[in-house]
Structure 1
Amino acid sequence: MSEPKPLPFIYQFASGAIAGVSEILVMYPLDVVKTRQQLDSTNAYNGTINCLKKIVKEEGFSRLYKGITAPILMEAPKRATKFAANDEWGKFYKGFFGVPQMTQSLAVLTGATAGATESFVVVPFELIKIRLQDKNSKFNGMSDVLKHIIKQDGVLGLYKGLESTLWRHIVWNAGYFGVIHQVRGLMPKPKNSTEKTLIDLTCGSIGGTFGTILNTPFDVVKSRIQAGSTKYVWTVPSIGTVFKEEGFGALYKGFLPKVLRLGPGGGILLVVFTQCMDFFRTIHNA
Protein backbone atom coordinates (compact mmCIF):
# COMPACT_ATOMS: atom_id res chain seq x y z
CA MET A 1 0.00 0.00 0.00
CA SER A 2 1.49 3.32 -1.04
CA GLU A 3 2.24 5.90 1.63
CA PRO A 4 0.28 9.18 1.51
CA LYS A 5 2.16 12.27 0.43
CA PRO A 6 3.73 14.07 3.43
CA LEU A 7 2.12 17.32 4.56
CA PRO A 8 3.92 20.41 5.88
CA PHE A 9 4.94 20.35 9.55
CA ILE A 10 2.16 22.71 10.69
CA TYR A 11 -0.54 20.25 9.60
CA GLN A 12 1.20 17.36 11.36
CA PHE A 13 1.55 19.45 14.52
CA ALA A 14 -2.12 20.53 14.53
CA SER A 15 -3.35 16.97 13.91
CA GLY A 16 -1.22 15.62 16.75
CA ALA A 17 -2.47 18.35 19.10
CA ILE A 18 -6.13 17.63 18.36
CA ALA A 19 -5.56 13.87 18.75
CA GLY A 20 -3.77 14.32 22.08
CA VAL A 21 -6.42 16.52 23.68
CA SER A 22 -9.19 14.17 22.49
CA GLU A 23 -7.44 11.19 24.09
CA ILE A 24 -6.73 12.86 27.44
CA LEU A 25 -10.32 14.08 27.90
CA VAL A 26 -11.59 10.51 27.53
CA MET A 27 -8.89 8.57 29.40
CA TYR A 28 -7.51 10.84 32.16
CA PRO A 29 -9.05 9.12 35.25
CA LEU A 30 -7.15 5.94 34.35
CA ASP A 31 -3.93 7.96 34.39
CA VAL A 32 -4.64 9.14 37.95
CA VAL A 33 -5.27 5.53 39.07
CA LYS A 34 -2.10 4.37 37.30
CA THR A 35 0.05 6.99 39.05
CA ARG A 36 -1.42 6.19 42.47
CA GLN A 37 -0.64 2.51 42.04
CA GLN A 38 2.89 3.23 40.83
CA LEU A 39 3.64 5.43 43.85
CA ASP A 40 2.17 2.85 46.25
CA SER A 41 5.12 1.02 47.81
CA THR A 42 3.02 -0.22 50.78
CA ASN A 43 0.34 -2.03 48.75
CA ALA A 44 -2.44 0.20 50.05
CA TYR A 45 -4.38 -0.34 46.84
CA ASN A 46 -5.50 -3.89 46.08
CA GLY A 47 -5.87 -3.61 42.34
CA THR A 48 -7.24 -1.08 39.88
CA ILE A 49 -10.93 -1.24 40.91
CA ASN A 50 -10.02 -1.00 44.59
CA CYS A 51 -7.82 2.02 43.88
CA LEU A 52 -10.57 3.70 41.89
CA LYS A 53 -13.16 3.09 44.62
CA LYS A 54 -10.84 4.35 47.37
CA ILE A 55 -10.04 7.56 45.54
CA VAL A 56 -13.74 8.32 44.96
CA LYS A 57 -14.80 7.30 48.48
CA GLU A 58 -12.01 9.03 50.42
CA GLU A 59 -11.31 12.05 48.23
CA GLY A 60 -14.35 12.53 46.02
CA PHE A 61 -15.02 11.95 42.31
CA SER A 62 -13.39 15.23 41.30
CA ARG A 63 -10.01 13.86 42.51
CA LEU A 64 -9.99 11.68 39.39
CA TYR A 65 -9.53 14.87 37.41
CA LYS A 66 -7.13 16.70 39.71
CA GLY A 67 -4.06 17.86 37.83
CA ILE A 68 -5.76 17.65 34.44
CA THR A 69 -4.74 21.22 33.57
CA ALA A 70 -1.10 20.20 33.21
CA PRO A 71 -1.88 17.20 30.95
CA ILE A 72 -4.29 19.28 28.84
CA LEU A 73 -1.59 21.91 28.35
CA MET A 74 0.93 19.12 27.78
CA GLU A 75 -1.12 16.98 25.40
CA ALA A 76 -1.16 19.48 22.55
CA PRO A 77 2.64 19.90 22.31
CA LYS A 78 3.29 16.32 23.45
CA ARG A 79 1.17 14.47 20.90
CA ALA A 80 1.82 17.08 18.25
CA THR A 81 5.55 16.56 18.76
CA LYS A 82 5.10 12.76 18.79
CA PHE A 83 3.38 12.50 15.41
CA ALA A 84 5.12 15.44 13.74
CA ALA A 85 8.54 14.20 14.89
CA ASN A 86 7.69 10.67 13.76
CA ASP A 87 6.77 11.93 10.30
CA GLU A 88 9.77 14.28 10.03
CA TRP A 89 12.29 11.71 11.32
CA GLY A 90 10.69 9.15 8.99
CA LYS A 91 11.38 11.40 5.99
CA PHE A 92 14.93 12.00 7.26
CA TYR A 93 15.74 8.31 7.74
CA LYS A 94 14.25 7.27 4.38
CA GLY A 95 16.45 9.87 2.70
CA PHE A 96 19.50 9.01 4.82
CA PHE A 97 19.28 5.27 4.13
CA GLY A 98 18.05 5.73 0.56
CA VAL A 99 14.81 3.74 0.84
CA PRO A 100 11.60 4.87 -0.88
CA GLN A 101 9.16 3.54 1.72
CA MET A 102 9.12 2.90 5.46
CA THR A 103 10.39 -0.52 6.57
CA GLN A 104 9.84 -2.34 9.87
CA SER A 105 13.30 -1.51 11.24
CA LEU A 106 13.00 2.13 10.16
CA ALA A 107 9.56 2.37 11.81
CA VAL A 108 11.09 1.24 15.12
CA LEU A 109 14.08 3.61 14.75
CA THR A 110 11.83 6.51 13.76
CA GLY A 111 9.48 5.86 16.68
CA ALA A 112 12.36 5.71 19.15
CA THR A 113 13.81 8.98 17.87
CA ALA A 114 10.40 10.64 17.97
CA GLY A 115 10.04 9.43 21.57
CA ALA A 116 13.35 11.00 22.52
CA THR A 117 12.31 14.26 20.86
CA GLU A 118 8.96 14.21 22.64
CA SER A 119 10.58 13.66 26.05
CA PHE A 120 12.20 17.08 26.13
CA VAL A 121 8.78 18.68 25.67
CA VAL A 122 6.83 16.71 28.26
CA VAL A 123 9.13 16.47 31.31
CA PRO A 124 8.03 19.68 33.11
CA PHE A 125 4.35 18.87 32.54
CA GLU A 126 4.80 15.27 33.67
CA LEU A 127 6.60 16.43 36.81
CA ILE A 128 3.79 18.81 37.74
CA LYS A 129 1.13 16.17 36.98
CA ILE A 130 2.81 13.56 39.19
CA ARG A 131 3.13 16.01 42.09
CA LEU A 132 -0.59 16.82 41.84
CA GLN A 133 -1.74 13.21 41.45
CA ASP A 134 0.21 12.02 44.51
CA LYS A 135 -2.18 11.16 47.37
CA ASN A 136 0.00 13.14 49.79
CA SER A 137 0.05 16.21 47.58
CA LYS A 138 -0.44 19.52 49.41
CA PHE A 139 -0.47 21.60 46.25
CA ASN A 140 -3.58 23.50 45.22
CA GLY A 141 -2.88 23.58 41.51
CA MET A 142 -0.42 23.72 38.67
CA SER A 143 0.93 27.20 39.51
CA ASP A 144 1.49 26.19 43.14
CA VAL A 145 3.65 23.24 42.07
CA LEU A 146 5.52 25.36 39.54
CA LYS A 147 6.42 28.01 42.12
CA HIS A 148 7.55 25.39 44.63
CA ILE A 149 9.83 23.56 42.20
CA ILE A 150 11.48 26.73 40.88
CA LYS A 151 11.94 28.12 44.41
CA GLN A 152 13.43 24.87 45.69
CA ASP A 153 15.46 23.63 42.72
CA GLY A 154 15.55 26.45 40.17
CA VAL A 155 14.29 26.31 36.60
CA LEU A 156 16.35 23.19 35.86
CA GLY A 157 14.36 21.47 38.61
CA LEU A 158 11.51 21.28 36.11
CA TYR A 159 13.55 18.64 34.27
CA LYS A 160 13.80 16.24 37.18
CA GLY A 161 13.26 12.76 35.75
CA LEU A 162 14.41 13.61 32.21
CA GLU A 163 16.55 10.49 31.94
CA SER A 164 13.71 8.18 33.04
CA THR A 165 11.28 10.02 30.75
CA LEU A 166 13.64 9.41 27.83
CA TRP A 167 13.64 5.70 28.60
CA ARG A 168 9.83 5.64 28.88
CA HIS A 169 9.12 7.50 25.65
CA ILE A 170 11.83 5.91 23.50
CA VAL A 171 10.64 2.42 24.40
CA TRP A 172 6.91 3.18 24.07
CA ASN A 173 7.16 5.01 20.76
CA ALA A 174 9.46 2.38 19.26
CA GLY A 175 6.94 -0.32 20.17
CA TYR A 176 3.89 1.77 19.19
CA PHE A 177 4.98 2.91 15.74
CA GLY A 178 6.86 -0.30 15.00
CA VAL A 179 3.80 -2.45 15.68
CA ILE A 180 1.47 -0.08 13.81
CA HIS A 181 3.67 -0.46 10.72
CA GLN A 182 3.71 -4.24 11.06
CA VAL A 183 -0.02 -4.67 11.70
CA ARG A 184 -1.00 -2.26 8.91
CA GLY A 185 0.99 -4.39 6.50
CA LEU A 186 -1.11 -7.41 7.45
CA MET A 187 -4.42 -5.61 7.04
CA PRO A 188 -6.46 -5.59 3.80
CA LYS A 189 -6.65 -2.32 1.90
CA PRO A 190 -9.67 -0.39 3.23
CA LYS A 191 -12.57 0.01 0.78
CA ASN A 192 -14.16 2.98 2.56
CA SER A 193 -13.67 5.46 5.40
CA THR A 194 -15.38 3.19 7.96
CA GLU A 195 -12.99 0.33 7.25
CA LYS A 196 -10.05 2.76 7.35
CA THR A 197 -11.15 4.00 10.80
CA LEU A 198 -11.52 0.43 12.11
CA ILE A 199 -8.08 -0.51 10.80
CA ASP A 200 -6.51 2.58 12.39
CA LEU A 201 -8.29 1.86 15.69
CA THR A 202 -7.08 -1.76 15.64
CA CYS A 203 -3.49 -0.88 14.70
CA GLY A 204 -3.29 1.93 17.24
CA SER A 205 -4.79 -0.17 20.06
CA ILE A 206 -2.42 -3.08 19.42
CA GLY A 207 0.53 -0.69 19.15
CA GLY A 208 -0.46 1.11 22.35
CA THR A 209 -0.81 -2.19 24.22
CA PHE A 210 2.57 -3.48 23.03
CA GLY A 211 4.31 -0.20 23.85
CA THR A 212 2.78 -0.28 27.33
CA ILE A 213 3.99 -3.84 27.99
CA LEU A 214 7.52 -2.74 27.08
CA ASN A 215 7.72 0.55 28.96
CA THR A 216 5.75 0.09 32.21
CA PRO A 217 8.84 -0.65 34.40
CA PHE A 218 10.40 2.61 33.16
CA ASP A 219 7.15 4.45 33.86
CA VAL A 220 6.98 3.09 37.42
CA VAL A 221 10.42 4.39 38.36
CA LYS A 222 9.82 7.66 36.49
CA SER A 223 6.76 8.31 38.66
CA ARG A 224 8.74 7.62 41.83
CA ILE A 225 11.68 9.77 40.74
CA GLN A 226 9.40 12.68 39.87
CA ALA A 227 7.34 12.29 43.06
CA GLY A 228 10.41 13.60 44.89
CA SER A 229 11.80 10.49 46.59
CA THR A 230 15.57 10.66 47.11
CA LYS A 231 15.63 6.87 47.07
CA TYR A 232 15.24 6.78 43.29
CA VAL A 233 17.61 8.78 41.07
CA TRP A 234 18.65 6.90 37.92
CA THR A 235 16.37 4.59 35.95
CA VAL A 236 18.20 1.27 35.71
CA PRO A 237 19.39 1.21 39.36
CA SER A 238 15.87 2.24 40.44
CA ILE A 239 14.38 -0.68 38.52
CA GLY A 240 16.83 -2.94 40.40
CA THR A 241 15.80 -1.40 43.73
CA VAL A 242 12.08 -1.88 43.10
CA PHE A 243 12.66 -5.47 41.94
CA LYS A 244 14.83 -6.30 44.97
CA GLU A 245 12.56 -4.73 47.60
CA GLU A 246 9.08 -5.35 46.17
CA GLY A 247 9.46 -8.12 43.60
CA PHE A 248 9.01 -8.26 39.82
CA GLY A 249 5.28 -7.54 40.03
CA ALA A 250 5.99 -4.09 41.45
CA LEU A 251 7.60 -3.10 38.15
CA TYR A 252 4.16 -3.50 36.60
CA LYS A 253 2.16 -1.60 39.21
CA GLY A 254 -0.49 0.43 37.49
CA PHE A 255 -0.23 -1.73 34.38
CA LEU A 256 -3.97 -2.45 34.06
CA PRO A 257 -5.17 1.18 34.09
CA LYS A 258 -2.16 2.12 31.97
CA VAL A 259 -2.88 -0.49 29.31
CA LEU A 260 -6.62 0.26 29.46
CA ARG A 261 -5.74 3.85 28.73
CA LEU A 262 -2.91 3.50 26.23
CA GLY A 263 -4.33 0.49 24.38
CA PRO A 264 -7.65 2.08 23.38
CA GLY A 265 -6.01 5.49 23.84
CA GLY A 266 -3.42 4.59 21.23
CA GLY A 267 -6.26 3.70 18.90
CA ILE A 268 -8.04 6.99 19.57
CA LEU A 269 -4.80 8.88 18.94
CA LEU A 270 -4.18 7.21 15.59
CA VAL A 271 -7.79 7.53 14.39
CA VAL A 272 -8.10 11.23 15.27
CA PHE A 273 -4.62 12.02 13.94
CA THR A 274 -5.24 10.21 10.66
CA GLN A 275 -8.65 11.79 10.14
CA CYS A 276 -7.26 15.25 10.85
CA MET A 277 -4.41 14.65 8.41
CA ASP A 278 -6.88 13.48 5.75
CA PHE A 279 -8.93 16.63 6.31
CA PHE A 280 -5.87 18.88 6.12
CA ARG A 281 -4.71 17.02 3.01
CA THR A 282 -7.94 17.96 1.21
CA ILE A 283 -7.44 21.62 2.20
CA HIS A 284 -3.78 21.63 1.22
CA ASN A 285 -4.42 20.07 -2.15
CA ALA A 286 -7.52 22.15 -2.92
Structure 2
Amino acid sequence: MASTKRKEQPLHSLVAGAFAGAVEGFATYPTEYVKTQAQFAVAAGKRPPGLLDIVRETLARSGVRGLYSGCSALVAGNAVKAGVRFLSYDSIKLAVADKTTGQLTLPRSVLAGLLAGLCEGALAVTPSEAIKTRLIEDGRKPKAERLYKGLFSGSVAIVRAEGLRGIYKGLGPTMARQGANSAVRLTTYSTLRGLATKDGRKTNDIETFGMGAVAGIVTVYCTMPFDVVKTRMQSAQSARYSSAFNCVSTVLREEGVLRFWKGTTPRLTRLILSGGIVFTIYEKTLVALDVLGGKAKETAKVVADTVKE
Protein backbone atom coordinates (compact mmCIF):
# COMPACT_ATOMS: atom_id res chain seq x y z
CA MET A 1 0.00 0.00 0.00
CA ALA A 2 1.04 3.58 -0.60
CA SER A 3 0.59 6.07 2.13
CA THR A 4 -1.62 9.11 1.78
CA LYS A 5 -0.89 10.68 5.16
CA ARG A 6 0.36 13.82 3.48
CA LYS A 7 -2.44 16.05 2.22
CA GLU A 8 -1.10 18.70 -0.13
CA GLN A 9 -3.13 21.77 -0.93
CA PRO A 10 -4.22 21.81 -4.58
CA LEU A 11 -2.44 25.11 -5.30
CA HIS A 12 0.77 23.80 -3.71
CA SER A 13 0.62 20.61 -5.82
CA LEU A 14 0.11 22.68 -8.98
CA VAL A 15 2.93 25.17 -8.26
CA ALA A 16 5.41 22.58 -7.01
CA GLY A 17 4.69 20.27 -9.93
CA ALA A 18 5.00 23.05 -12.53
CA PHE A 19 8.31 24.29 -11.10
CA ALA A 20 9.73 20.77 -10.86
CA GLY A 21 8.60 19.99 -14.40
CA ALA A 22 10.21 23.12 -15.88
CA VAL A 23 13.56 22.48 -14.18
CA GLU A 24 13.55 18.79 -15.11
CA GLY A 25 12.60 19.53 -18.73
CA PHE A 26 15.47 21.94 -19.26
CA ALA A 27 18.05 19.82 -17.43
CA THR A 28 17.32 16.65 -19.38
CA TYR A 29 16.29 18.03 -22.77
CA PRO A 30 19.39 16.95 -24.76
CA THR A 31 18.54 13.30 -24.09
CA GLU A 32 15.00 13.90 -25.39
CA TYR A 33 16.46 15.55 -28.51
CA VAL A 34 18.78 12.59 -29.19
CA LYS A 35 15.97 10.08 -28.64
CA THR A 36 13.67 11.88 -31.07
CA GLN A 37 16.40 12.16 -33.71
CA ALA A 38 17.07 8.41 -33.46
CA GLN A 39 13.36 7.69 -33.95
CA PHE A 40 13.19 10.05 -36.95
CA ALA A 41 16.02 8.16 -38.67
CA VAL A 42 14.21 4.85 -38.28
CA ALA A 43 10.91 6.36 -39.43
CA ALA A 44 12.62 7.64 -42.60
CA GLY A 45 13.84 4.13 -43.38
CA LYS A 46 17.47 4.93 -42.67
CA ARG A 47 19.92 3.04 -40.56
CA PRO A 48 19.70 4.69 -37.14
CA PRO A 49 22.89 6.59 -36.25
CA GLY A 50 24.62 6.01 -32.94
CA LEU A 51 23.76 8.31 -30.07
CA LEU A 52 27.24 9.83 -30.03
CA ASP A 53 27.03 10.33 -33.81
CA ILE A 54 23.82 12.33 -33.36
CA VAL A 55 25.44 14.49 -30.70
CA ARG A 56 28.59 15.08 -32.79
CA GLU A 57 26.61 15.88 -35.94
CA THR A 58 24.34 18.29 -34.08
CA LEU A 59 27.23 20.07 -32.38
CA ALA A 60 29.05 20.41 -35.71
CA ARG A 61 25.96 21.74 -37.46
CA SER A 62 24.39 24.00 -34.83
CA GLY A 63 26.61 24.01 -31.74
CA VAL A 64 25.32 23.37 -28.22
CA ARG A 65 22.15 25.29 -29.03
CA GLY A 66 21.30 22.56 -31.51
CA LEU A 67 20.84 20.06 -28.68
CA TYR A 68 18.16 22.39 -27.32
CA SER A 69 16.21 22.70 -30.58
CA GLY A 70 12.53 22.64 -29.62
CA CYS A 71 13.44 22.97 -25.94
CA SER A 72 11.10 25.88 -25.21
CA ALA A 73 8.08 23.85 -26.28
CA LEU A 74 9.03 20.94 -24.05
CA VAL A 75 9.92 23.09 -21.02
CA ALA A 76 6.66 25.02 -21.23
CA GLY A 77 4.72 21.83 -21.81
CA ASN A 78 6.63 20.02 -19.06
CA ALA A 79 5.75 22.72 -16.53
CA VAL A 80 2.05 22.50 -17.37
CA LYS A 81 2.21 18.71 -17.63
CA ALA A 82 3.84 18.19 -14.24
CA GLY A 83 1.54 20.73 -12.62
CA VAL A 84 -1.54 18.98 -14.00
CA ARG A 85 -0.08 15.56 -13.16
CA PHE A 86 0.59 16.23 -9.50
CA LEU A 87 -2.57 18.27 -9.00
CA SER A 88 -4.65 15.51 -10.59
CA TYR A 89 -2.87 12.65 -8.83
CA ASP A 90 -2.92 14.24 -5.38
CA SER A 91 -6.59 15.16 -5.76
CA ILE A 92 -7.66 11.79 -7.19
CA LYS A 93 -5.70 9.67 -4.73
CA LEU A 94 -7.23 11.51 -1.78
CA ALA A 95 -10.69 11.02 -3.30
CA VAL A 96 -10.25 7.27 -3.78
CA ALA A 97 -8.26 6.53 -0.61
CA ASP A 98 -9.85 4.49 2.16
CA LYS A 99 -11.90 6.94 4.24
CA THR A 100 -11.08 5.20 7.51
CA THR A 101 -7.37 4.42 7.23
CA GLY A 102 -6.37 7.04 4.68
CA GLN A 103 -4.45 4.29 2.82
CA LEU A 104 -4.34 3.88 -0.95
CA THR A 105 -4.40 0.30 -2.23
CA LEU A 106 -2.24 -0.63 -5.20
CA PRO A 107 -5.17 -0.87 -7.70
CA ARG A 108 -6.45 2.53 -6.57
CA SER A 109 -2.99 4.03 -6.84
CA VAL A 110 -2.69 2.71 -10.41
CA LEU A 111 -6.15 4.13 -11.21
CA ALA A 112 -5.21 7.53 -9.78
CA GLY A 113 -2.00 7.56 -11.80
CA LEU A 114 -3.79 6.48 -14.97
CA LEU A 115 -6.43 9.21 -14.67
CA ALA A 116 -3.77 11.82 -13.88
CA GLY A 117 -1.84 10.75 -16.97
CA LEU A 118 -4.90 10.98 -19.20
CA CYS A 119 -5.53 14.51 -17.91
CA GLU A 120 -1.98 15.67 -18.57
CA GLY A 121 -1.94 13.94 -21.96
CA ALA A 122 -5.04 15.79 -23.16
CA LEU A 123 -4.38 19.19 -21.57
CA ALA A 124 -0.62 19.63 -21.90
CA VAL A 125 1.45 16.87 -23.41
CA THR A 126 -0.11 16.37 -26.85
CA PRO A 127 0.19 19.99 -28.05
CA SER A 128 3.63 20.57 -26.51
CA GLU A 129 5.03 17.27 -27.80
CA ALA A 130 3.58 17.81 -31.27
CA ILE A 131 5.17 21.26 -31.49
CA LYS A 132 8.46 20.03 -30.02
CA THR A 133 8.61 17.15 -32.49
CA ARG A 134 8.00 19.46 -35.44
CA LEU A 135 10.58 21.99 -34.21
CA ILE A 136 13.23 19.26 -33.84
CA GLU A 137 12.39 17.88 -37.27
CA ASP A 138 12.52 21.36 -38.80
CA GLY A 139 15.85 22.06 -37.09
CA ARG A 140 17.46 19.21 -39.03
CA LYS A 141 17.04 21.15 -42.28
CA PRO A 142 19.50 23.77 -43.61
CA LYS A 143 18.74 27.20 -42.12
CA ALA A 144 17.43 28.54 -45.43
CA GLU A 145 14.81 25.79 -45.61
CA ARG A 146 13.52 25.94 -42.05
CA LEU A 147 9.88 26.85 -41.59
CA TYR A 148 9.84 27.77 -37.91
CA LYS A 149 11.91 30.37 -36.05
CA GLY A 150 10.90 29.39 -32.54
CA LEU A 151 8.17 28.18 -30.20
CA PHE A 152 5.66 30.97 -30.76
CA SER A 153 6.12 31.43 -34.50
CA GLY A 154 6.24 27.66 -34.99
CA SER A 155 3.03 27.13 -33.03
CA VAL A 156 1.25 29.89 -34.95
CA ALA A 157 2.48 28.53 -38.29
CA ILE A 158 1.35 24.97 -37.52
CA VAL A 159 -2.10 26.09 -36.32
CA ARG A 160 -2.50 28.45 -39.28
CA ALA A 161 -1.59 25.74 -41.79
CA GLU A 162 -3.29 22.75 -40.16
CA GLY A 163 -5.69 24.08 -37.54
CA LEU A 164 -5.80 22.77 -33.99
CA ARG A 165 -5.58 19.27 -35.43
CA GLY A 166 -1.97 20.08 -36.26
CA ILE A 167 -0.99 20.30 -32.60
CA TYR A 168 -3.28 17.47 -31.55
CA LYS A 169 -1.83 14.86 -33.87
CA GLY A 170 -1.20 11.65 -32.01
CA LEU A 171 -3.70 12.48 -29.25
CA GLY A 172 -4.68 8.82 -28.77
CA PRO A 173 -1.17 7.35 -28.45
CA THR A 174 0.00 10.34 -26.40
CA MET A 175 -2.83 9.93 -23.89
CA ALA A 176 -2.17 6.19 -23.81
CA ARG A 177 1.53 6.83 -23.16
CA GLN A 178 0.88 9.43 -20.47
CA GLY A 179 -1.76 7.30 -18.79
CA ALA A 180 0.63 4.34 -18.71
CA ASN A 181 3.55 6.60 -17.72
CA SER A 182 1.78 8.13 -14.76
CA ALA A 183 0.14 4.90 -13.64
CA VAL A 184 3.55 3.17 -13.52
CA ARG A 185 5.70 6.11 -12.41
CA LEU A 186 3.50 7.62 -9.71
CA THR A 187 2.44 4.23 -8.35
CA THR A 188 6.06 3.03 -8.19
CA TYR A 189 7.23 6.21 -6.47
CA SER A 190 4.24 6.38 -4.13
CA THR A 191 4.69 2.74 -3.16
CA LEU A 192 8.43 3.14 -2.53
CA ARG A 193 7.83 6.32 -0.56
CA GLY A 194 5.12 4.63 1.48
CA LEU A 195 7.49 1.79 2.38
CA ALA A 196 10.29 4.22 3.26
CA THR A 197 8.10 6.37 5.50
CA LYS A 198 5.86 3.73 7.08
CA ASP A 199 7.62 4.18 10.43
CA GLY A 200 6.93 7.91 10.35
CA ARG A 201 10.43 9.04 9.38
CA LYS A 202 11.19 11.48 6.58
CA THR A 203 13.22 10.52 3.54
CA ASN A 204 16.42 12.38 2.73
CA ASP A 205 17.31 13.90 -0.66
CA ILE A 206 19.37 10.92 -1.81
CA GLU A 207 16.55 8.48 -1.01
CA THR A 208 14.00 10.68 -2.78
CA PHE A 209 16.22 10.97 -5.86
CA GLY A 210 16.82 7.20 -5.84
CA MET A 211 13.12 6.37 -5.59
CA GLY A 212 12.36 8.77 -8.43
CA ALA A 213 15.11 7.21 -10.56
CA VAL A 214 13.80 3.68 -9.95
CA ALA A 215 10.30 4.85 -10.91
CA GLY A 216 11.81 6.23 -14.13
CA ILE A 217 13.53 2.95 -15.02
CA VAL A 218 10.36 0.91 -14.53
CA THR A 219 8.37 3.45 -16.56
CA VAL A 220 10.71 3.39 -19.58
CA TYR A 221 10.59 -0.34 -20.21
CA CYS A 222 6.86 -0.58 -19.60
CA THR A 223 5.82 2.33 -21.82
CA MET A 224 8.46 2.71 -24.56
CA PRO A 225 6.22 1.32 -27.37
CA PHE A 226 3.69 4.10 -26.67
CA ASP A 227 6.46 6.67 -27.05
CA VAL A 228 7.62 5.27 -30.39
CA VAL A 229 4.09 5.29 -31.82
CA LYS A 230 3.51 8.81 -30.48
CA THR A 231 6.65 10.12 -32.21
CA ARG A 232 5.71 8.44 -35.50
CA MET A 233 2.19 9.88 -35.39
CA GLN A 234 3.43 13.42 -34.69
CA SER A 235 6.20 13.54 -37.29
CA ALA A 236 5.85 15.06 -40.76
CA GLN A 237 5.66 11.51 -42.16
CA SER A 238 2.57 10.72 -40.09
CA ALA A 239 0.41 10.76 -43.24
CA ARG A 240 1.66 7.28 -44.13
CA TYR A 241 -0.27 5.90 -41.15
CA SER A 242 -4.05 5.92 -41.20
CA SER A 243 -4.29 5.50 -37.43
CA ALA A 244 -2.27 4.60 -34.34
CA PHE A 245 -3.27 0.95 -34.81
CA ASN A 246 -2.10 1.10 -38.42
CA CYS A 247 1.19 2.57 -37.20
CA VAL A 248 1.64 -0.32 -34.77
CA SER A 249 0.89 -2.95 -37.40
CA THR A 250 3.13 -1.24 -39.99
CA VAL A 251 6.09 -1.05 -37.63
CA LEU A 252 5.60 -4.68 -36.60
CA ARG A 253 5.39 -5.84 -40.20
CA GLU A 254 8.20 -3.73 -41.67
CA GLU A 255 10.64 -3.28 -38.80
CA GLY A 256 9.95 -5.91 -36.15
CA VAL A 257 8.92 -5.76 -32.52
CA LEU A 258 12.29 -4.50 -31.26
CA ARG A 259 11.74 -1.18 -33.06
CA PHE A 260 9.21 -0.32 -30.37
CA TRP A 261 12.12 0.01 -27.98
CA LYS A 262 14.26 2.16 -30.30
CA GLY A 263 15.53 5.19 -28.41
CA THR A 264 15.35 3.38 -25.08
CA THR A 265 18.86 4.38 -23.97
CA PRO A 266 18.43 8.17 -24.19
CA ARG A 267 14.89 7.95 -22.82
CA LEU A 268 16.12 5.73 -20.00
CA THR A 269 18.82 8.28 -19.20
CA ARG A 270 16.29 11.05 -19.26
CA LEU A 271 13.70 9.33 -17.08
CA ILE A 272 16.26 8.19 -14.51
CA LEU A 273 17.45 11.77 -14.21
CA SER A 274 14.00 13.31 -14.56
CA GLY A 275 12.46 10.95 -12.01
CA GLY A 276 15.12 11.86 -9.49
CA ILE A 277 15.02 15.58 -10.30
CA VAL A 278 11.27 16.07 -10.52
CA PHE A 279 10.34 14.20 -7.34
CA THR A 280 13.19 15.78 -5.34
CA ILE A 281 12.31 19.31 -6.46
CA TYR A 282 8.61 18.61 -5.99
CA GLU A 283 9.12 17.47 -2.40
CA LYS A 284 11.44 20.41 -1.64
CA THR A 285 9.06 22.92 -3.18
CA LEU A 286 6.13 21.54 -1.19
CA VAL A 287 8.15 21.98 2.02
CA ALA A 288 9.09 25.54 1.01
CA LEU A 289 5.47 26.39 0.18
CA ASP A 290 4.31 24.95 3.50
CA VAL A 291 6.91 27.06 5.34
CA LEU A 292 5.92 30.19 3.42
CA GLY A 293 2.26 29.43 4.02
CA GLY A 294 2.89 29.00 7.74
CA LYS A 295 4.79 32.27 7.93
CA ALA A 296 2.03 34.04 6.02
CA LYS A 297 -0.55 32.74 8.48
CA GLU A 298 1.58 33.85 11.44
CA THR A 299 1.98 37.31 9.91
CA ALA A 300 -1.74 37.56 9.24
CA LYS A 301 -2.47 36.54 12.84
CA VAL A 302 -0.05 39.15 14.21
CA VAL A 303 -1.63 41.85 12.02
CA ALA A 304 -5.13 40.78 13.08
CA ASP A 305 -4.16 40.81 16.75
CA THR A 306 -2.57 44.24 16.33
CA VAL A 307 -5.69 45.61 14.69
CA LYS A 308 -7.81 44.24 17.53
CA GLU A 309 -5.63 46.03 20.07
Regarding TM over 0.5, the answer is yes
SS in 2 for 1:46: coil
Q: 1:141 aligns with which of 118, 135, 150?
A: 150
Partner of 1:39: 40
Partner of 1:107: 109
Larger Rg computed on CA atoms = 2
Taking only the aligned residue pairs, the percentage that are identical comes to 27
- The residue type equivalent to 1:18 in the other structure is F
1:67 counterpart = 2:70: yes
1:80-107 CA distances to partner (integer Å, 9 max, x unpaired)? 1111111011112226x87621222221
Q: What's the offset of the Cα at 1:178?
A: 1.6
Partner of 1:221: 229
Q: How many residues align?
A: 284
1:275 counterpart = 2:284: yes
- The residue type equivalent to 1:31 in the other structure is E
- From the superposition, tell whether residues 37 and 99 of structure 1 become closer, same or farther in structure 2 (CA, over 3 Å): farther
CA distance in 2 between partners of 1:258 and 1:138 (Å): 27
Q: 2:214 aligns with which of 198, 206, 225?
A: 206
Q: 2:59 aligns with which of 56, 59, 77?
A: 56
- The residue type equivalent to 1:64 in the other structure is L
1:187 counterpart = 2:196: yes
Partner of 2:80: 77
Structure 1: gaps of 5 or more residues: none
Normalising by structure 1, report the TM-score.
0.91
Partner of 1:172: 181
CA contact (8 A) 1:104 1:181 kept: no
- From the superposition, tell whether residues 179 and 212 of structure 1 become closer, same or farther in structure 2 (CA, over 3 Å): same
Deviates more, 1:244-253 or 1:160-169: 244-253
1:29 counterpart = 2:30: yes
CA contact (8 A) 1:225 1:233 kept: no
Structure 2: gaps of 5 or more residues: 296-309
SS in 1 for 2:97: helix
CA distance in 1 between partners of 2:260 and 2:197 (Å): 37
- From the superposition, tell whether residues 14 and 185 of structure 1 become closer, same or farther in structure 2 (CA, over 3 Å): closer
Normalising by structure 2, report the TM-score.
0.84
Partner of 1:7: 8
CA distance in 2 between partners of 1:2 and 1:67 (Å): 38
Deviates more, 1:1-10 or 1:238-247: 1-10
Q: 2:128 aligns with which of 114, 120, 125?
A: 125
1:188-214 CA distances to partner (integer Å, 9 max, x unpaired)? 669987x52122111111111111111
CA distance in 2 between partners of 1:43 and 1:187 (Å): 46
CA distance in 2 between partners of 1:269 and 1:126 (Å): 18
1:24-59 CA distances to partner (integer Å, 9 max, x unpaired)? 121111111011111222344333222222222234
Q: What's the offset of the Cα at 1:234?
A: 2.7
CA distance in 2 between partners of 1:121 and 1:59 (Å): 32
